Structure 1
Amino acid sequence: MTHDRLDLVAKLYQPSGWPRVLQAASGTPSSAPLVVDLDPTTFCDLACPECISGKLLNQGRFTPERLATLAEELVALSVRAVVLIGGGEPLAHKGTRRVLRILGEAGLAVGVVTNGTMIRQNLAELAQYATWVRVSLDAGTAETYGLFRPDRKGRSVFDKVIGNMRLLASEKKGALGYSFLVMSRRESDGRVVTNHHEVLRAAELAHDIGCDYFETKAMFDDEHHIVQVPEEMLESVDRQLAEAARLESDRFQLVNSSTLTSLRTRVGAVQPKDYHRCRTAELRTLITPSGVYVCSYHRGNPLAKIGDAVTDHLADIWQDSDRGVVDPSRDCRFHCARHRSNLELERIDRRETGELPLAQDYDPFI
């Protein structure tokens, strides 16, 4: 039986997470998060002009020793899945390989979001322990990649990243994804540069590399609101995806993010919420060198900081913190991927759903 990797509501009904889901639904503080986003470092080797974390980069990292003990604390907390992400580039930290081993050997699911430049140095651990690796490319050619994802000297390292992905595709046990963020910007001379015309080419390249899926997403601004795009750009993307559909098989999927769906339905940049507590914050959290935050949308927001993982034990942070410091109706008017999960948790609490836990787990990344 196949499941939609982006159906976050359905994932709530898996048996191993169900007790904590019921805690979150009832408004009771959970015993531990089910999923943790972990930023090993704030350093990145690229200099992407549109980087949503640009203001937070190069401001610290965990020591390799603390990163390893963090991994052990996550195991002890019975966290089910960890996403190595950033912030910075997670594979740039020399301790990430050890984290992959600790988490993988303990049976946790591990996702990795990476720019792909350092896959080769981490190849053995990624191939063995990563449940999935998603590479952010946002282009189908070296030239366009250089416009949106230049390195610190302004060069395009597209060919290096593609070569690294081919290496991983040949050895991986988990899934490999090619991520394409639809982007455009106006240069100082008035020219508009965009990548939307390369969606089909990128999808074909992803298929050729041996990726398991190709994901298309909409762009966010610095406040996490979805950037609206001209109708003709969206139509171009949809035409290319329709043509790319011929590539789909049991081994290769086209994945549409909820952000792209929001563009198609023209819901606008604001996603109103009429609830005051994020129940999902009891099930997920973000750990970075600068602090532990209620969620990744509030990375770097001091008002959403609930602890300091550099100095404090994770179990103590979780037990002592109030994940209700963020009021979604006030603080989360951007598009949140887990808005529907919050609504479902409310329904579970009101017993308005007849759904029962599934017979078995299939994807812990709720």
Structure 2
Amino acid sequence: MISSSIQDTSQSGSRDIRLKLLAHPDRLLGIQSGRFAPPILIDIDPVDGVCNLDCEWCCQAASRSSRPTKFMSEATMSRLGSFSRDWGVKSWRIAGDSEPLLHKGINTLIASGSESEIDMGLITNGVYLNRLTPDSLAKLDWLGISLDAGTGETWSRLKKSPASNFEKILDNIADVRSKAPALDLAIKFLRWSSTEHLRKEDFGHGLLPVIEPSTTEADNSNDVEQVKKIAADLGVRAIIKNAYPRDFADKYRFTKCHATPLGGVFDASHTFHLCCDARGIFVLTDDYTRDDWQELPRLWGGARHRELIDSIDPRKCVGCAKHGINEVLESHLIVGDRTEQLNFI
């Protein structure tokens, strides 16, 4: 069994980011030269436009409201694995702007990735964890459950769902741990305060529908110790992070989204989005299956791809999951200090 541990990632993990980037020199050279290699990590959205919870801080609420409900077809899920492998993708993060386990066929997607030797992780709110078969659990590299509370009362208030579902999630986690004792399993906790952090209505980049403002004045910071205890009792890791602060964009130490070619999003509607934080805004193709799945590799690194990346203005991005990578790339790879005699190691 993986031993339980507490991982507080509220501070920058730039050292870990640098180590991971060093494992992909071809991608770094591609960004530096402008000849982009295929992405390393792809987000997979098995479901578009619907979620069973309504988290106060959800950065995907605007994206979700802008799209009709759509479930990825079995044919698409079955093909995604071999396509990703042949293109050169290394890993999948199965999550989305919606809850991925709302898709009853989720095990087909995981089998597709496994058959093509794609590294896979899945993020879920945990309500439907029982839909993952033992075989699927064995194929995942990691599994994260966004709990974000230490009590049913806090959970219900911040996620707009009956408190009984909180206990259901804990039971589901215990069941997963018993079925997959070696799986890297973690409870994710996002510290959030309605007065200090961005709310769901703050996202959308001014280009997506405005979300109905929240009236909840609450936070979950008092639940941190309870979450740590829950994780220890269940034998899983606790990953504790801070939500995006209201002035997050003012703190960026980069001027361009250099990290964009490292990832992308396959959604259930066959749209390929360049940014997981801006689904529906920076779209490379509206059908990644077009021309027998050959359109996307053809567009990658081309004029349209570059124009879309150049159009991303970090000052207008209120939240950025890749801000740490962007800061490392700009400070060490793109600009860098040429007086440090880098060729003398």
TM range (shorter): 0.7 to 0.9
Shift of the alpha carbon at 1:323?
3.2
Query: What is the aligned partner in structure 1 of residue 261 from structure 2?
Result: 282
Give unmatched runs, 5+ long, in structure 2: 1-6, 196-212
Query: What is the aligned partner in structure 2 of residue 103 from structure 1?
Result: 113
Shift of the alpha carbon at 1:315?
4.3
Q: Which amino acid aligns with 1:83?
A: R
Matched, 1:197 2:222: yes
Shift of the alpha carbon at 1:40?
0.7
In structure 2, do the counterparts of structure 1 residues 344 and 49 end up closer, same or farther at CA, with 3 Å as the change threshold?
closer
Matched, 1:19 2:26: yes
In structure 2, do the counterparts of structure 1 residues 310 and 157 end up closer, same or farther at CA, with 3 Å as the change threshold?
farther
Q: Which amino acid aligns with 1:178?
A: I
**Aligned runs of 1:340-351 on 2, under 5 Å?**
340-346=324-330, 347-348=332-333
Matched, 1:207 2:232: yes
Q: Which amino acid aligns with 2:272?
A: V
In structure 2, do the counterparts of structure 1 residues 298 and 125 end up closer, same or farther at CA, with 3 Å as the change threshold?
farther
**Aligned runs of 1:23-62 on 2, under 5 Å?**
23-30=30-37, 32-42=38-48, 43-55=50-62, 56-57=64-65, 59-62=69-72
Could you give the per-residue CA deviations for residues 13-71 of structure 1, whole angstroms, max 9, x where no partner exists?
Answer: 11xx32222112222122x1111011110232223344322231553222122122123
Shift of the alpha carbon at 1:124?
1.4
Shift of the alpha carbon at 1:11?
0.4
Out of 143, 158, 167, the position equivalent to 1:159 is 167
Distance 2:112 2:186 in 1: 23
Q: Which amino acid aligns with 1:342?
A: N
> Structure 2 length normalisation: TM-score?
0.76
Local SS of the residue matching 1:199: helix
Shift of the alpha carbon at 1:171?
2.7
> 333-342 or 202-211: which moved more?
333-342
> Structure 1 length normalisation: TM-score?
0.72
In structure 2, do the counterparts of structure 1 residues 168 and 311 end up closer, same or farther at CA, with 3 Å as the change threshold?
same
Distance 1:81 1:112 in 2: 11
Query: What is the aligned partner in structure 2 of residue 260 from structure 1?
Result: none
Alignment RMSD (CA, Å)? 3.1
In structure 2, do the counterparts of structure 1 residues 4 and 205 end up closer, same or farther at CA, with 3 Å as the change threshold?
closer
Query: What is the aligned partner in structure 1 of residue 206 from structure 2?
Result: none
Local SS of the residue matching 1:181: strand
Contact residue 123 and residue 168 of structure 1 kept, 8 A: no
Q: Which amino acid aligns with 2:267?
A: T
Contact residue 273 and residue 328 of structure 1 kept, 8 A: no
In structure 2, do the counterparts of structure 1 residues 48 and 338 end up closer, same or farther at CA, with 3 Å as the change threshold?
closer
Contact residue 137 and residue 179 of structure 1 kept, 8 A: yes
Shift of the alpha carbon at 1:274?
5.1
Shift of the alpha carbon at 1:95?
2.7
Distance 1:284 1:180 in 2: 24
In structure 2, do the counterparts of structure 1 residues 131 and 78 end up closer, same or farther at CA, with 3 Å as the change threshold?
same
Contact residue 281 and residue 323 of structure 1 kept, 8 A: no
Distance 1:343 1:194 in 2: 29
Query: What is the aligned partner in structure 2 of residue 112 from structure 1?
Result: 122
Shift of the alpha carbon at 1:299?
1.3
Aligned positions, number: 300
Give unmatched runs, 5+ long, in structure 1: 221-225, 229-267, 357-366
Distance 2:155 2:132 in 1: 23
Contact residue 270 and residue 333 of structure 1 kept, 8 A: no
Could you give the per-residue CA deviations for residues 211-244 of structure 1, whole angstroms, max 9, x where no partner exists?
Answer: 1x21222224xxxxx237xxxxxxxxxxxxxxxx
Q: Which amino acid aligns with 1:164?
A: N
Q: Which amino acid aligns with 1:28?
A: R
Out of 211, 225, 240, the position equivalent to 1:216 is 240
Contact residue 134 and residue 179 of structure 1 kept, 8 A: yes
Out of 190, 193, 214, the position equivalent to 1:184 is 193
